[in-house]
Structure 1
Amino acid sequence: MATDKETLKCLIIGSGPAGYTAAVYAARANMDPVLYTGPEPGGQLMITTDVENYPGYPDGIMGPQMMEDFRKQAERFGTDVRYEKITKVDLSGPVHKAWTESGEEILAHSVIISTGASAKWLGLESEKRLTNKGVSACAVCDGFFFRGKEVAVVGGGDTAAEEALYLSKLCPTVHLLVRRDEMRASKIMQERVLKTENIKVHWHTETEEILGDEEVSGMRVVNNQTQERTEIPISGFFVAIGHKPNTDIFKDWLDMDGTGYLITKPKSTKTNIEGVFASGDAQDNVYRQAVTAAGTGCMAALDAERYLTEAGII
């Protein structure tokens, strides 16, 4: 380890609402934050078109524009935004270490993790082509645009059940595609789904193709027992087969649940390692909204500021 290397007061790993909000607060607290954006600067909102549920945008805003605004605000207060990915960390000592893709070593007294989570997809070409044109991985984010229209949800877990129930309040018919003869969702969620008249459950069903040129117009599904194929007209196709938190590089250091979500101490963003804080979708497997991610980014910066103050670093 080089002894003459500058040690950052605050390293932020990952961008998006959590990372940029943490940067705004950290910069205003004289923590001189350095933020590494990761491979997808701006996070999941960069593949979201209209955002209508974030406070302060009465006419809605495009996801990429919103993230541009967040970045500009963070930089205005002095955040050093670097467009690189952190690929390795060593959180063993009081001074934490991280390495970029190009091999540069970074030293930091405090680390805020905001690496987010990525939606799992089916892997269909038509799914990729029609993303944001009727294909979505978030009913709460995008369901409003399909009010009064027929839609489909893919998945058999609690997330799929929740999304189907949410959409059933907006849409005349919700097709729930389950690839087995039972759902993985909790018993109470299954009961709610099966009692909801306008949710039509298709058992043993998998998606072969999402139909449509410029926007979703239908889907072709196959019964994996009988091989019978059916085309069903829909306007919205929601993939709810789970999310994967982008936390693999921390698995040797930080406590996480079975899926990889970082575990934080109650009423804080503190991880099991002093000076390391987790925010946004990397630690939130419940809400997963831009506004809640921003909130935890604020919390992480405040927690880091208290930590650095108590350590006599700022």
Structure 2
Amino acid sequence: MLFKKKIQDCIIIGSGPAGYSSAVYAARADMNPILFTGSQPGGQLTTTTSVDNYLGFYEGVNGNDLMNNCKKQAERFNTKIINQSVIHVILSNKKGGIHRVFLDKKKYLESRGLIVATGSRPKFLGINKEKKFMGLGISSCATCDGFFHKEKNVAVIGGGDTALEEANYLAKICQKVYIIVRKGYFKASKALQERILKKNNIDILFYSNVTEIIGYNFLEGIKIFNQKNKMNRTILISGLFLAIGHVPNTEIFKSKLDLDERGYIIVQKGETRTSKPGVFAAGDVQDPIYRQAITSAGTGCMAALDLEKYLSLCEEYEKI
């Protein structure tokens, strides 16, 4: 059973900054994009109460409002937005080939071009109130949300490069930063460790786990258990930053696209081209380093331009 017989030029999977940015550019290039929002319309920004570092909003903007504006802008140029998730794909290996995007076992769309903007999700500890307080004191991005805790006490969970980079950034603006490390050592580079050890306002808690999140409507503190001395401790903080890794939303692309060891889509350097012709990737799903709304929007633009060029080349090829 075919969902729609017409072969599309552009299907976009994902509705964060990368997805909507690619939709705006694709629509303005007359590619008539169809965008599938997925299970979290608007992406991770919808869990952020205020975004202060997105260019053009000098007073900041609510995360939901920002993504609603992006959606309206895409709709203004006649992007068709469908609030469904893609569950399966069949990707062509041929230049100019047709890709199939399935919404269930029988219903699918066909397209010459596909932009993957499914994003990533932070790893969680798995304790009560953790997800409830995302955007209400709990965050996975210090550069996004650290400013709201200026001159306050915060904590970072993790012992790798990302955790120490987050802690180093927070130490510049916060009164005190606790680094909570499950093991008795850091996994981060020696250079980062040395930089952290020089900070007077950083307190390192090795062999420690967060056992409880304190607060009613927002984060007020945490309870920590030290595995070495078997002691419990309560710390009052306004911000808790999870730096234990991210998981790219690439489950449906395993064995379909080239992924790195962490599951991120591999793209050509300086481009958004993937291992399959006509398939492009934008945003956090192909970016384990920056993970910012503005960089995601930038690669969304790139993906649409790359797809436009690809379709033009396919047309020239067919004329030969």
Q: CA RMSD in A?
A: 1.6
Q: Which amino acid aligns with 1:151?
A: V
Instruction: Please state if 1:27 is matched with 2:30.
Output: no
What's the counterpart of residue 204 of structure 1?
Answer: 207
* In 2, Cα distance between equivalents of 1:204 and 1:28: 54
Judge conservation of contact 2:158–2:243 (CA < 8 Å) in 1. Answer: yes
* In 2, Cα distance between equivalents of 1:186 and 1:220: 28
Q: Which amino acid aligns with 2:150?
A: R
What's the counterpart of residue 50 of structure 2?
Answer: 50
Instruction: Please state if 1:306 is matched with 2:313.
Output: no
What's the counterpart of residue 174 of structure 2?
Answer: 171
Specify the SS of the correspondent of 1:41: coil
| Residue 57 of structure 1, CA deviation | 1.1
| Residue 192 of structure 1, CA deviation | 1.7
What's the counterpart of residue 283 of structure 1?
Answer: 286
* In 1, Cα distance between equivalents of 2:132 and 2:31: 42
What are the Cα deviations for residues 231-289 of structure 1, in whole angstroms up to 9, with x where unaligned?
A: 11211111111110001111112111111111110111001111110000000111101
What's the counterpart of residue 125 of structure 1?
Answer: 128
What's the counterpart of residue 297 of structure 1?
Answer: 300
What's the counterpart of residue 96 of structure 1?
Answer: 99
What's the counterpart of residue 183 of structure 2?
Answer: 180
Specify the SS of the correspondent of 2:8: strand
Specify the SS of the correspondent of 1:112: strand
What's the counterpart of residue 38 of structure 1?
Answer: 38
Gaps of 5+ in 1: none
Judge conservation of contact 2:155–2:239 (CA < 8 Å) in 1. Answer: yes
* In 1, Cα distance between equivalents of 2:136 and 2:113: 41
| Residue 102 of structure 1, CA deviation | 6.3
* In 1, Cα distance between equivalents of 2:189 and 2:284: 22
Deviation >6 Å, runs of 4+: none
* In 2, Cα distance between equivalents of 1:35 and 1:126: 32
Which of 264, 267, 270 is matched with 2:270 structurally? 267
| Residue 293 of structure 1, CA deviation | 0.3
| Counterpart mapping for 1:63-82 below 5 A | 63-82=63-82
- The TM-score with structure 2 as length reference comes to 0.94
What's the counterpart of residue 236 of structure 2?
Answer: 233
| Residue 179 of structure 1, CA deviation | 0.4
* In 1, Cα distance between equivalents of 2:276 and 2:131: 38
* In 1, Cα distance between equivalents of 2:124 and 2:162: 14
| Residue 175 of structure 1, CA deviation | 0.3
What are the Cα deviations for residues 78-99 of structure 1, in whole angstroms up to 9, with x where unaligned?
A: 1010111001111134111110
What's the counterpart of residue 261 of structure 2?
Answer: 258
Judge conservation of contact 2:49–2:136 (CA < 8 Å) in 1. Answer: no
What's the counterpart of residue 246 of structure 2?
Answer: 243
| Counterpart mapping for 1:89-168 below 5 A | 89-93=89-93, 94-101=97-104, 103-168=106-171
What are the Cα deviations for residues 84-118 of structure 1, in whole angstroms up to 9, with x where unaligned?
A: 10011111341111101464111110100000000
* In 1, Cα distance between equivalents of 2:80 and 2:216: 42
* In 1, Cα distance between equivalents of 2:298 and 2:16: 12
- The TM-score with structure 1 as length reference comes to 0.96
**Matched positions, count:** 313
* In 2, Cα distance between equivalents of 1:131 and 1:246: 19
* In 2, Cα distance between equivalents of 1:33 and 1:130: 35
Instruction: Please state if 1:195 is matched with 2:205.
Output: no
Judge conservation of contact 1:280–1:294 (CA < 8 Å) in 2. Answer: yes
Q: Which amino acid aligns with 2:132?
A: R
Judge conservation of contact 2:100–2:108 (CA < 8 Å) in 1. Answer: yes
* In 2, Cα distance between equivalents of 1:244 and 1:128: 16
Q: Which amino acid aligns with 2:130?
A: E
* In 2, Cα distance between equivalents of 1:64 and 1:159: 26
Q: Which amino acid aligns with 1:37?
A: T
